[in-house]
Amino acid sequence: MKKKIQVIKSTGEGEIFSWNKVYRSARRVGATKEMAEKIADRIESEVHDKITTLEIWKRIERLLKQKSPGLAMKFDLPRAMRRLGPTGFPFEKYIAAILRHQGYQIKTNKWVKGKCVRHEVDLFGSNDSFCYLGECKYHNRRGRKVDLPATLHYYARFLDLEQGPDVLKKARNRKIKTVLITNVQFTTEAIKYFQCVGKDLWGWRYPPGQGLQVIIDRERLYPITILPSFQGIRLRQAFSQQGKVMARDVLTVDVEKLARQLKCPSSLIASLVREAEQLFKIKN
């Protein structure tokens, strides 16, 4: 009988190492059964007591990269989301791009009149069926969760906005859809409360089967920060100002022209294009 190895999670809590978790994480990003089994076997042979989940994560990523740079990029998606920071503004732009892909006409950071006061709303827009109000709660640290106090705060804002003239005018014959969006997970109490009051949550793994992680992978709506060469706040700001927040955005750029516009080496833009091509070669 093999000795049980304790793994330290980002929260500081311990759990028993699971071969199946490693296998499933590799399979989730597209590794074959054989590849995932070999990776899980390799990690199992290397782990030691008190190893952190972050260290295991890094080792899985390195093994995937040896087989396929595209698979390693997909595996790095959670960290790519955290690299959208340090502020929440790029995250809001990224979520707006996802919603536009889904057929919404969306504006970001718009002042909207509520019944009592004005609010700066992260995402405001509509499609044929809904008037959409979205508020983003972004975290760039591992292990964070959106808790009950945060949901209480946003519920109060939603109540005021829903009864205000701007939303009622925008809604007309549409239903009003209010959504609290995050790149992390919600606590059980936060989910329970929003279910009770009839409001929507959209997080990393919530709703089940429709969370951000699933939508991003299924629709291939990867953030541009998933590309390894996309480093530094200056580059992030320059791309954000041009509305380029998706990895797919670099596939159609004129390398030399964009390099001149961003005042960066053309070799850097060429690297981003090459990495995006590797990423999108991977079949879902």
The DSSP annotation for 234-255 comes to HHHHHHHHTT--BGGGGGG--H
Residues 79 and 222: their CA atoms lie apart, in Å, by 12
Q: What string of pLDDT tens digits covers the 284 residues of the chain?
A: 467 899 998 878 899 999 999 999 999 999 999 999 999 999 999 999 999 999 999 999 999 999 999 999 999 999 999 888 766 678 999 999 999 999 999 999 999 999 999 999 999 999 999 999 999 999 988 888 999 999 999 999 999 999 999 999 999 889 999 999 999 999 999 999 999 999 999 999 999 999 999 999 999 999 999 999 998 777 777 787 788 899 999 998 899 998 888 888 899 999 999 999 999 986 66
> Domain ranges in the chain?
6-67, 85-219, 223-281
Could you please state the CATH topology (level 3) that the domain comprising 85-219 is classified under.
Trna Endonuclease; Chain: A, domain 1 (3.40.1350)
pTM of the shown model: 0.89
Q: Give yes or no for a contact between 255 and 276, defined as CB atoms under 8 angstroms apart.
A: no
Residues 224 and 270: their CA atoms lie apart, in Å, by 14
Residues 42 and 58: their CA atoms lie apart, in Å, by 13
